[in-house]
Structure 1
Amino acid sequence: MIISGERDGAALAKLRHCRVHASEDEIAKALEGNWREEHLFALKQSVALYDAYAVQVVECDRQLESMLAKLAQHEGEPGDNKRRSKSKNTPHFDMRTQLFRLCGVDLTRIEGIDVTTAFKVLAEVGTDFSKFKTAKHFASWLGLCPGTKISGDKVLSGGAEANGQSSGSGPQNGGHEPSEK
């Protein structure tokens, strides 16, 4: 609205997001001042770039969806999974179903794993996990296992070591955090 010429603080304050704690009056007062042309120009340019990038992201998602459809090895749909909420960075297609068709199981049913984390791990490892003897070997490869450097009942270090595997950052940084019970 600012770009289209609206300068009335009260009218702009009515557009505030419901999660904003400031009242409409506080926002309207904050919007009082001078509207410098160079700032309005920069805002207009920034909004145009944001819109252009949003279009590019949607195109990338379409391309990704078509590539995943070509790689599908299994039929069917994953079961109902109501506990997952859609984040702002979730692709613009049903990636969960595509991943299910790719590997035959719904990886998002694992606590702490969302679709982007599952995709990141599959992109790094592939669908054949037979190269890992056990789940513990896989977790160790990801760098998720804590260290066990103990000498004389003294813990020398206990954190997970960096191993250079980019997939390890998925479960640590990417997915939903496990729910507290």
Structure 2
Amino acid sequence: MLKWLADVASHGMVRPSMVPPPEIRQLRDLTRYRKSQVDTRSKEIQRLEKVLQDADIKITSVASAVWREIIEALIAGERDPAVLAQMAKSRMRSKISQLEEALAGTFDDHHAFLCRQIIAHIDFCDQTIAELTQEIIEGLGDFGPAVAILCSIPGVSDTTAQAIIAETGGDMSRFPTSGHLCAWAGVAPASYESAGKRRPAGTRHGAPWLRRTLIEAARAAARSRGTYYSAQYARIAKRRGPNRAAVAVAHSMLDTIWHLLTNGTLYVDPGADYFDRRRDPAIQAKKLASRIEALGFEVTMTQALT
């Protein structure tokens, strides 16, 4: 395979060099188009919810997602809230009365026409996404083990792993270090230098498709329970906000990806208590004691015998 992804310039940064081989270009086209279809589908779902809200159908205030069966019944001409509410399944059966109130709207033929067109578009997107996914799986070829390695990382799904393989080429030897890969992807810290002084300047400009994929994976990892990435996100978000925390986690994840794919090993999570284990127990105890004293209590500490 041609050395197409990166060359190391004299200043240590990574820049694109040669055109990717045909199989990688094709894989990129497929994953990027699939992502655009996923985005289109999401917009159509939001548009469907807006039409329902316009008809005073407040189903999304009761259920976490729009229910297709109820919407299709509305389109077919059913307007009785009691009949519609009886279509509830599983745990939502306990909210029948709330559903009846939420479904007592002004849904008419105009709303039915719009909903019918939107649902048809959603179905089309679903079919397109499924066909693209099948084509991507077939195009991955020998990258099956690499996808399995990536999926061992919290927050990385099959589709995310496929996108990462497509954007990076799956061969980490193209990047001398993980730092080069992170800089190329646009998740590494940047700095601005003027008159001999440096100051932070956000992140570098990099591969936008890969950067977006990594940040989405970082947000998913932040929602995982008891993992290193969720702990890292919580620590940084508390001080610098959720957006910077997501970028920081994306940087850590890509650094991990470089090492895992280089060594061919699965991910082993350090645990949510990783940062606590690194702290000096005496310093940590002193900080906790200060917080307790600030609440108006006295604290006496004694070293436990081991």
- TM-score band w.r.t. shorter chain: 0.5 to 0.7
Question: Is residue 2:212 matched to residue 1:140?
Answer: no
**Alpha carbons 1:141, 1:165 under 8 Å: kept:** no
Aligned pairs for 1:35-50 (under 5 A) are 35-50=107-122
Cα 1:114–1:30 change in 2 (3 A) is: closer
Query: Secondary structure, in 3 states, of the residue corresponding to 2:189?
Result: coil
Q: Match of 1:116, as an amino acid?
A: T
Query: Secondary structure, in 3 states, of the residue corresponding to 1:133?
Result: coil
Question: Is residue 2:202 matched to residue 1:130?
Answer: no
What's the counterpart of residue 144 of structure 2?
100
**Alpha carbons 2:192, 2:198 under 8 Å: kept:** yes
Query: Secondary structure, in 3 states, of the residue corresponding to 2:98?
Result: helix
Larger RCO (CA under 8 A, 6+ residues apart):
2
> 1:54-100 CA distances to partner (integer Å, 9 max, x unpaired)?
222222222222223xx22xxxxxxxxxxxxxxxxxxxxxxxxxx43
Per-residue deviation at 1:125?
2.0
Q: Of residues 107, 110, 119 in structure 1, which corresponds to 2:162?
A: 119
Question: Is residue 2:138 matched to residue 1:66?
Answer: yes
The separation in 2 between residues aligned to 1:138 and 1:35, in whole angstroms, is 53
Cα 1:137–1:41 change in 2 (3 A) is: same
**Alpha carbons 2:164, 2:170 under 8 Å: kept:** no
Question: Is residue 2:58 matched to residue 1:7?
Answer: no
Total equivalences in the alignment: 150
What's the counterpart of residue 173 of structure 1?
216
Query: Secondary structure, in 3 states, of the residue corresponding to 1:157?
Result: strand
Per-residue deviation at 1:7?
2.0
Question: Is residue 2:63 matched to residue 1:30?
Answer: no
Q: Which runs of 4+ in 1 moved over 4 A?
A: 16-20, 148-151
Q: Of residues 31, 38, 52 in structure 1, which corresponds to 2:124?
A: 52
Per-residue deviation at 1:107?
1.4
**Alpha carbons 1:116, 1:174 under 8 Å: kept:** no
The separation in 2 between residues aligned to 1:166 and 1:53, in whole angstroms, is 20
Per-residue deviation at 1:126?
0.8
Higher helix proportion: 2
Per-residue deviation at 1:133?
0.8
> 1:17-75 CA distances to partner (integer Å, 9 max, x unpaired)?
7788x94323312322444222212222222222232222222222222223xx22xxx
Gaps of 5+ in 1: 73-98
Query: Secondary structure, in 3 states, of the residue corresponding to 2:199?
Result: strand
**Alpha carbons 1:100, 1:107 under 8 Å: kept:** no
User: What is the RMSD of the two structures over their aligned residues, measured on CA atoms?
Assistant: 3.3
Per-residue deviation at 1:9?
0.5
Gaps of 5+ in 2: 1-72, 222-228, 232-271, 273-306
**Alpha carbons 1:111, 1:179 under 8 Å: kept:** no
Q: What TM-score do you get using the length of structure 2 for normalisation?
A: 0.41
What's the counterpart of residue 242 of structure 2?
none
